[in-house]
């Protein structure tokens, strides 16, 4: 069974640009969550999607948005990038709604904002 796939793995952007990251969950998993990981803050919850609906949202500004498609694939978008958005963005999938069980993480997308 293929794991969670995130693309791209690495990307460099400049301030003010926008970025879209993609996540393909494990087949059969309907919940996709996104986390931001930085050295100082650790893993911070961004949002969770289940059956194409955003169910939970973390404490991030509106520049951070996401969506989920009917095949459970998910994308997240960050607009008007700031230097502080440089981070590892991790996607995790699970079978059930929410994060009430084991999460399966992808390898992450490393974003550098210059």
In the shown chain, the binding pattern of residues 5 to 34 toward another protein, with x for contact by CB under 8 A and - for none, equals ----------------------------x-
Report whether 87 contacts 108 (CB < 8 A). no
Report whether 22 contacts 107 (CB < 8 A). no
Instruction: Show the CA angle centred on residue 79, arms to residues 72 and 105, nearest 5°.
Output: 35
The only residue of 95, 98, 112, 114 in contact with another protein, by rule CB under 8 A? 98
Dig out the tokens for 92 from the structure.
Answer: 């995790």
Rounded to a whole number of angstroms, the distance between the first and last alpha carbons of the chain is: 37
In the shown chain, the binding pattern of residues 32 to 51 toward another protein, with x for contact by CB under 8 A and - for none, equals -x-x-----xxx-x--x---
Please tell me whether residue 85 binds another protein under the rule CB under 8 A.
no
Number of residues that bind another protein (CB under 8 A): 26
List binders of another protein among 48-77 (CB under 8 A).
48, 55-56, 58
The rounded distance, in Å, linking the Cα atoms of 5 and 108 is: 8
Report whether 72 contacts 53 (CB < 8 A). no
Report whether 32 contacts 47 (CB < 8 A). no
Please tell me whether residue 108 binds another protein under the rule CB under 8 A.
yes
State which residue, 84 or 101, has the beta carbon closest to another protein: 101
- Residues lying near another protein in the complex (CB under 8 A) are found at 4, 33, 35, 41-43, 45, 48, 55-56, 58, 90, 92, 97-108, 110
């Amino acid at each position: 069974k293929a794991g969670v796939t995130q693309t791209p793995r690495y990307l460099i952007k400049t301030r003010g640009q926008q970025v879209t990251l993609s996540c393909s969950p494990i087949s059969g998993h309907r919940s996709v969550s996104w986390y931001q990981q930085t050295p100082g803050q650790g893993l911070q919850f961004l949002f969770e999607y289940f059956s194409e609906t955003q169910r939970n949202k973390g404490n991030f500004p509106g520049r951070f948005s996401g969506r989920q498609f009917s095949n459970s694939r998910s994308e997240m978008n960050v607009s008007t990038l700031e230097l502080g958005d440089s981070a590892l963005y991790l996607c995790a999938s699970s079978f059930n709604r929410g994060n009430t069980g084991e999460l399966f993480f992808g390898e992450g997308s490393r974003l550098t904002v210059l």
